Amino acid sequence: MDKVKALNIVKEQLTEKRYIHTVGVLHTAVKLAKIYDADEHRVQLAAIFHDYAKFRPIAEMRKIVQDEQMDDRLLTYGNELLHAPVGAYLVKKEVGIDDEEVLNGIRYHTTGRLNMTILEKIVFISDYIEPNRQFPGVEEVRDIALQDLNKALIISISNTIQFLMKKRQPVFPDTLAVYNSLIMKEDI
């Protein structure tokens, strides 16, 4: 599917603000795909559709998680997590994209997972650093993402975990697992 068609499809699912965010993620992801030699077309599609399910009713998303026998933990760690795996499911079902690498980029863009592919890392980081994101520390990750993808992942996940802890929200175990595995591998 080409970029223009994909953008037109996702636009209908999103608010204007979220669409602008999506275009920011797309541009950032393409830049990172060139640097890290990832499949640009797949990265584009995953970036464009990453928040496809963001505005689906919570009840609908919870039902899909149950009916499709997805990971049960998605139902207990916060509703913010649902749009990623449900997005992957709906993009396959409604848009007809069945490339598992693209779908995994969508599926894991919020929590991350152990042994993420380059595409998954690129979508995850681009979601965090795209130009419309403004929060303390984002500039640092923007710079580091151009040099070292894993280091950028460590910092962004660490920031997210701290953000969740400050709000006394649960941290999804796979998110902690990515953090642990990268921090033990990296010399940071």
* Sites of contact with Fe ion (CB under 5 A): 51, 127
Is 31 or 187 the residue whose CB approaches ligand DGI more closely?
A: 31
Mapped onto helix, strand or coil, the DSSP state of residue 98 is: coil
Tell the smallest beta-carbon distance from residue 164 to ligand DGI (Å).
5
The reply on whether position 150 binds ligand DGI by CB under 6 A is no
The structure tokens 């709000």 sit at 167
Region class of 14: left (phi > 0), else alpha (psi between -120 and 50), else beta: beta
The reply on whether position 175 binds ligand DGI by CB under 6 A is yes
User: How many residues of this chain bind ligand DGI (CB under 6 A)?
Assistant: 18
Copy the structure tokens of residue 13: 């699912």
Kindly state the helix (H) or strand (E) to which residue 81 belongs, with its residue range: none
Kindly state the helix (H) or strand (E) to which residue 93 belongs, with its residue range: none
The reply on whether position 120 binds ligand DGI by CB under 6 A is no
The reply on whether position 104 binds ligand DGI by CB under 6 A is no
DSSP 100-132: HHHHHHHHTTTT--TT--HHHHHHHHHHHHSTT
- Tell which one of 26, 106, 171, 178 touches ligand DGI (CB under 6 A): 171
153/124 Cα distance (integer angstroms):
8
The reply on whether position 13 binds ligand DGI by CB under 6 A is no
Tell the smallest beta-carbon distance from residue 98 to ligand DGI (Å).
22
Judged by beta carbon distances under 5 to 8 A according to partner kind, the member of ligand DGI, Fe ion, none in contact with residue 111 is ligand DGI
CA dihedral over 2, 101, 157, 54, signed as positive or negative:
positive
The terminus-to-terminus CA distance of the chain in angstroms comes to: 39
Tell the smallest beta-carbon distance from residue 127 to ligand DGI (Å).
5
Enumerate binding residues for ligand DGI (CB under 6 A). Answer: 51, 54, 77-78, 80-81, 84, 109-111, 127, 160, 164, 169-172, 175
